[in-house]
Structure 1
Amino acid sequence: MALLAAAALTVSCSGGGAPAGQQGKPGQAATTPQAPVIKITPEQGSTKVSPDKKVVVEAAGGVLDEVVVQAGAEQIEGKFNADKTRWISKSPLKPSTDYNVTAKSGVTQAASAFKTLKPEREFTVVDVTPNAKGEKIGVGAPIMVRFDQPIKDKASVEAALKVEAEKPVEGAWRWIDDTYVIYRTAKYWPAHQKIKFHADIEGVKGGKGLYGGKDHETTLRIGAKQISKIDTRKKMMYVYVDGKKKQTMRISAGMATTREYTTTSGVHLTMERGNPVRMISPGRKKGDPGYYDVMINHAVRISNSGEYVHAKNNVWAQGVRNVSHGCINSRPDQARWFHDTMQRGDVVDIVGTNRELEWNNGWGYWQMSFKQWKKGSALHGKA
């Protein structure tokens, strides 16, 4: 009897007969499970699809086994949700492009073909500074990016800007105007590394009828950690390279008889160099008191208000008196060394005067706290 009972149980579990009380009536067909239903967005035949729209594939009554989205030979990446009932594309679509979508869920297959719209206007990256060919930049260097069209949807565009460093540090973008955005780190870059900047803007919406054109990629190289310390009261300048003192320089700073002739205190960055550089007194014409028009050797710009570190053969004043119109002058041979050694974005930290460098005077971005800097980001806060 026990063996017969076991055999009966086995037959019941195999589905060979209906459980007691659930037998169908004579002639009634067995119930067939419904096939999954697949929905694809954008729908088949859609045209003028906005490139910032996502491709979404959903399965009802089953899981998605496969989703393929292609534009020609290029396949678009996407991500499934936890239970694989939904797939969504990761990146923006390309404008003016034909797309084909195929999906499978069990026995069900579905497809959709659609086309993205042609933008009224496109924007591109037209400049990344500092980024001259073969250039090494300083540890304080910002990444300054300009677009050729005004950007209204700043959050979407900013989200497409990526900075990948070999030795990462925290950083944030700040919008200066509708075409100009700057990346600054919270602390100085670690020296001797490569940084990759990506603007993955193709298809990104920048405003009404405005979409990103071609993506942009740039590799920047951080050189030595070169930091100069200047004390205008002691009339001295010390240059440190990778933590070691390389130069001790007697200097003469601004005479400070007026605000114009007062050297600014604060964290400056080296911006450019020239040999020689023509310097003309601002707002004065020939014959006016204080007028000058001179050629200065081995000059390194540190602000937009006319401040340079440069050569001048007035060694009688250097280390003794501040007699300049606001620049830092030093012995010609040492000024030449500084000129030849500088990298754009090197730090020049000046103390000792009552005139503070403005954050937007030249590359004075380190004059602003990082907390305040982030408020200029479209993603992190409001300015």
Structure 2
Amino acid sequence: MRVIRIAGLGLAGLLLAACSGQTAGTAQAVGAAGTAATTPGVPAATVAFEGGDRLSPKDPIVVKVSGGTLQAVTVTNPQTGNAVKGDLSPDKTTWTSDDHLRYNATYQVVATAVNQAGAATEQRAEVHTIKPAGVATPALFQPASNDVGVGLIIGLKFDHDITDKATVEKSLKVTSSPSQDGSWYWVSKREVHFRPKDYWKAGSTVKLETTTFGTPIGGEVYGGQDVTATYKVHDSWIAKADGKTHQIKAFHNGQLVKTAPISMGKTANTPPRGPTPTFNGTHTVLSKEEHKIMDSCTYGVCEGDPGYYSAPENWNVRISNDGEYLHENLKTVSVQGSDNVSNGCLNMNTENAKWFFDNFNTGDVVEVTNSGGPQLSINNGHGDWAISWAAWQAGSALRG
């Protein structure tokens, strides 16, 4: 049993006994007026504090008594004034905290116990929590939502580099109903994503839980506050856009419900920008905007540069971080269905663009083939689905 330091004595590894001024076989009872009485032959209650001089903030403070019962235990952080919650065991011999503690903090513990004769013993101590070199706090890559598509990607971004990825990955838990196997993939030293082999089943409930807080994760860095998130997957909406046929087909729960002509990004080396093909591979819907100014300056082609444009567009469904959208473009209606001339977006007429805007939402899937462009990367939106399942599994710190 590890024991915390007694306040004021500066000693570690010591079993804490009853109040000062008592000898074995004698208990001291403190009266209302501060007078003391002794009960010969009755041993004083002995209080011990389990823990250590540098406690992990995820571990509990434990107070135990022998030869009596605990009457009261208070634990306070004097830096914040906050009290730490805890529970007594049914026999009142053990008190255990059930709050997460803070890093690099001091907690004052006051325990009062009574022996078999009812004599009170008060003991004070201090608990010090560890001071890490850094705290890696995760943020959700995809906010919790009750309305996401089957292409949902779950992920976490940490604010510190993770050197012990395996330990972190063991602390991450994803469950789904109905059950579906999946795997984690480390995108970088700070970011990790999760997906199943195939798209999530329509109607699934998916839950993410982390237990990284208080865990050493390499380089004297510890895990920050844990996060949880629950996702409800709606009906399956999958669009298949083909750059060779210049058509996009929409499937609702596996049934074809819409076919529309499109114009993808141009592959010809025409001035002033040259080729601007749409990325091949599986995209997912990231966001939607009814009206948006499409400005080439967002990717470095600004006013005065060859190829600069700034144009209002309607019914915009974003499918990559690189500025790819499904949207209305009335200037290309004449070649929609026959030629690819856009700057990378999937152009449609007003009716078709609004239909996709109304029916496709965050996490729904748009599969692009035969665009003549490179593969969509994992850092360009949700390009995770473009990675083969074998390569995805190899990206896990536990499987790779």
Alignment TM-score, normalising by the size of structure 2? 0.66
Residue number in structure 2 paired with 1:372: 391
- Aligned equivalents of 1:318, 1:379: Cα separation in 2: 47
Residue 123 (1) aligns with residue 141 (2): no
Q: 2:53 aligns with which of 47, 53, 56?
A: 47
Partner residue of 2:350 out of 332, 354, 359:
332
Distance 2:147 2:302 in 1: 39
Partner of 1:10: none
The amino acid that maps onto 1:279 is M
Cα deviation code 1:7-54 (max 9, x no counterpart): xxxxxxxxxxxxxxxxxxxxxxxxxxxxxxxxx468766321456899
Task: Rate the CA distance shift 1:378–1:94 in 2: closer, same or farther, 3 A.
Answer: farther
Classify 1:291/1:202 alpha carbon distance in 2 versus 1 (closer, same or farther; 3 Å). Answer: closer
The equivalent of 2:301 in structure 1 is 284
CA distance in structure 1 between the aligned counterparts of 2:266 and 2:88, rounded to whole angstroms: 65
Question: Structure 2 residue aligned with 1:309, among 320, 323, 326?
Answer: 326
Does residue 246 (structure 1) correspond to residue 257 (structure 2)? The answer is yes
Other-structure match for 1:298: 315
CA distance in 1 between partners of 2:343 and 2:142 (Å): 28
Shift of residue 333, structure 1, vs aligned partner: 1.9
In structure 2, do the counterparts of structure 1 residues 272 and 72 end up closer, same or farther at CA, with 3 Å as the change threshold?
A: closer
- Cα distance between partner residues in 2 of 1:301 and 1:349: 13
Structure 1 position 295, deviation (Å)? 1.6
Percent of matched pairs sharing the same residue: 32
Structure 2 CA distance for aligned equivalents of residues 178 and 116 of structure 1: 31
Report the equivalent of 1:323. Answer: 341
Deviation at 1:188, TM superposition (A): 0.8
Q: Please report how far the alpha carbon of residue 294 of structure 1 lies from its aligned counterpart in structure 2 after TM superposition.
A: 0.9
8 Å Cα contact 1:170/1:187 also seen in 2: no
The aligned counterpart of 1:256 is 267
Q: 1:268 to 1:75 in 2, by over 3 A?
A: farther
Alignment partners' CA distance in 2, 1:211 and 1:346: 36
> How far off its partner does 1:98 sit?
9.5
Cα displacement (A) at 1:201:
1.9
Q: Which runs of 5+ in 2 are unaligned?
A: 4-12, 16-49, 62-83, 90-99, 110-124
Q: For the Cα contact (< 8 Å) 1:98–1:114, is it kept in 2?
A: yes
Aligned equivalents of 1:98 and 1:196: distance in 2?
37
Of 262, 269, 272, the residue aligned with 2:284 is 269
Distance of 2:397 and 2:314 partners within structure 1: 42
**d(CA) in 2 for partners of 1:197, 1:123:** 18
1:157 to partner: Cα distance: 1.6
- Of residues 179, 185, 188, the one that matches 1:174 is 185
The superposition leaves residues 93-121 of structure 1 with CA deviations (integer Å, 9 ceiling, x where unpaired) of 9666899xxxxxxxxxxxxx995733334
| 1:1-383 mapped onto 2 (5 Å cutoff) | 40=1, 46-50=52-56, 73=86, 117-120=129-132, 121-125=134-138, 127-131=139-143, 134-258=145-269, 260-281=275-296, 282-313=299-330, 314-360=332-378, 361-381=380-400
RMSD: 3.3
Distance 1:377 1:53, change over 3 A: farther
* Shift in Å, 1:75: 9.2
Write the letter of the residue equivalent to 2:353: A
CA–CA distance in 1 between the matches of 2:362 and 2:389? 21
Q: CA deviation at 1:225?
A: 0.8
Paired AA for residue 237 in structure 2: Q
Q: Distance in 2 between matches of 1:72 and 1:331?
A: 61
Q: Which has the larger displacement, 320-329 or 254-263? A: 254-263
Higher mean displacement: 363-372 or 312-321 = 312-321
User: May I ask how many residue pairs the two structures share in their alignment?
Assistant: 300
- Judging changes above 3 Å, is the alpha-carbon distance between structure 1 residues 300 and 72 closer, same or farther for their aligned structure 2 residues? closer
Distance in 2, matches of 1:75 and 1:149, equals 38
Instruction: Describe the shift of the 1:276–1:51 C-alpha distance in structure 2 as closer, same or farther (beyond 3 A).
Output: same
CA distance, structure 2, for counterparts of residue 214 and residue 50 of structure 1? 13
Q: Which runs of 5+ in 1 are unaligned?
A: 1-39, 56-70, 77-92, 100-112
Contact 2:266 2:275 in 1 (8 A): no
Judged with a 3 Å threshold, the aligned counterparts in structure 2 of structure 1 residues 260 and 204 are, in CA distance, closer, same or farther, namely farther
Tell me how far apart the structure 2 counterparts of residues 264 and 375 of structure 1 sit (CA, whole Å).
24
Task: Summarize deviations over 1:109-146 as a string: whole Å, max 9, x none.
Answer: xxxx9957333343333x313226x5411111111212
Check whether the contact 1:195–1:221 (CA below 8 A) recurs between aligned residues.
yes
Q: How far apart are 1:285 and its partner, in Å?
A: 3.5
Separation in 2 of the partners of 1:232 and 1:291?
24
What is the DSSP-based 3-state SS (H/G/I as helix, E as strand, rest coil) of the residue aligned with 1:276?
strand
Task: Answer with 1 or 2: which has the greater Rg.
Answer: 1
Residue 199 of structure 1, CA deviation = 1.0
Decide which moves more: 249-258 or 312-321. 312-321
Query: SS at 1:177's partner residue?
Result: coil
CA contact (8 A) 2:146 2:230 kept: no
